[in-house]
Amino acid sequence: MFVTALMDVEDLVAPESDDIARKCAEILSEEGVAATLCVVGEKARLLRQRGRDDVIDALRRHDIGLHTDFHSVPPTIAAAMAVRDWEDGITEAMRSEGPGAAAIESVFGSVPSCWGGPGNTWGPQVCAAIRTLGIPAFVYAHTQVPGGGVHRFAGCLAYPNGPSVSDTNYQEDATAEQDRERLADRLKTAAAAGSAWQQVFLGHPTRILHEEFWDAPNFLGGANPPRSAWRPARQKSPADLQRALDNFRRAARMLRSLPGIEMRTIRQMNAHFEGAAGSALTAQQQAEVWPGIERNLADMKGWPILPPDFDAANILNLTRARLNTLEQFT
């Protein structure tokens, strides 16, 4: 079974989050895990502005995806897609994500391997936009096919969420160990069930450094303070941070050591699936997978950054109208 380890590099507020991103990338490299790092476009520009070639070089040893251009800064991608039809949504997603794709390519030297939505949010129009931007895939996909594997939606390769360890637990030895054991069990079960690929989300470097998410003190409930008023999240104590990094390393080491598992980046998986012929779902299969997709999309509302009046109805309708573009691989 192939497994892709993912992390999100996204803190636009605290300059200290540059160093922790480098540290996490280095730990993954030391443990022999080539991961896919989803980097926010503005974060890439900040790294270059701050002259952090050391961080860029450490990240670049991994595969780089695009984690939107501005992540939590309003309007977020889901809020923008929720109020636009198909065509206008594509135009808006091209406008908002184009600079992010360009930033990733210019800072890291290659087109992003994938696009990943912030806070598990998304709009289906994004798929058409990123294809035009040369990005062939999206991760953290809300869409699904029978059996739950990699698929295509609207012409894009789609990689659904999978088991993970929680970055909020890394600083507690006992819970971090439980997380690792649960992850190992779930991967073994998936492999035994014949799964071809699983995603493992390893967390956010910024959340390893801080007690809270970087966007929470700034953008909660759709707030949009001026940049000069952005304030960094609270940092952990040095002892908590060290414990968190130790448990992060143990999670990477465990992944590497699991029997029957081969680590692949999204870029490698894209190459694997590139020319593969998919088959469309039957009407009955589309009906079967819809409740799961609907649940995933309805769950987007749980992202605390979205404005309270966020309504996913349009995203649900546009997605449902395109279930006939779902393709599964056999």
| Binders of Zn ion in range 90-149 (CB under 5 A) | 118
3-state secondary structure 94-160: HHHHHHHHHHHHHHHCCCCCCEECHHHCCCCHHHHHHHHCCCCEEEEECCCCCCCCCEEECCEEEEE
Alpha-carbon span 239 to 232, nearest angstrom:
20
Stretch that binds Zn ion, among 5-13, 171-179, 267-275, 303-311 (CB under 5 A): 5-13
- CB of 103: closest distance to Zn ion in angstroms? 16
Q: Least distance (Å) from Zn ion to the CB of residue 149?
A: 23
Only segment of 8-16, 98-106, 259-267, 284-292 that touches Zn ion (CB under 5 A): 8-16
- 54: Cβ–Cβ under 8 A, 6 or more apart, which residues? 22
Instruction: Tell me the number of residues near Zn ion by CB under 5 A.
Output: 3
Is 10 among the residues that bind Zn ion (CB under 5 A)? Answer: yes
Closest separation in Å from C-beta 22 to Zn ion: 18
By C-beta, is 11 or 327 nearer to Zn ion? 11
**Which is closer to Zn ion, CB of 74 or CB of 146?**
74
Amino acid making up residue 102: A
Separation of alpha carbons 118 and 69, rounded Å: 10
The residue among 25 and 190 lying less far from Zn ion, judged by its C-beta, is 25
- Pick out residues in 271-330 that bind Zn ion (CB under 5 A): none
Cβ(18)–Cβ(278) below 8 Å: no
Which residue's C-beta sits nearest to Zn ion? 8
Q: Shortest distance, CB of residue 11 to Zn ion, whole angstroms?
A: 10
For 140: left if phi > 0, alpha if psi spans -120 to 50, otherwise beta; the answer is left
Token duo for residue 28: 């993954």
Least separation in angstroms between residue 69's CB and Zn ion is: 12
Q: Min. distance of Cβ 139 from Zn ion in angstroms?
A: 11
Residue from 5, 8, 56, 245 touching Zn ion (CB under 5 A): that is 8
3-state secondary structure of 58: helix
Binding interface with Zn ion (CB under 5 A): 8, 10, 118
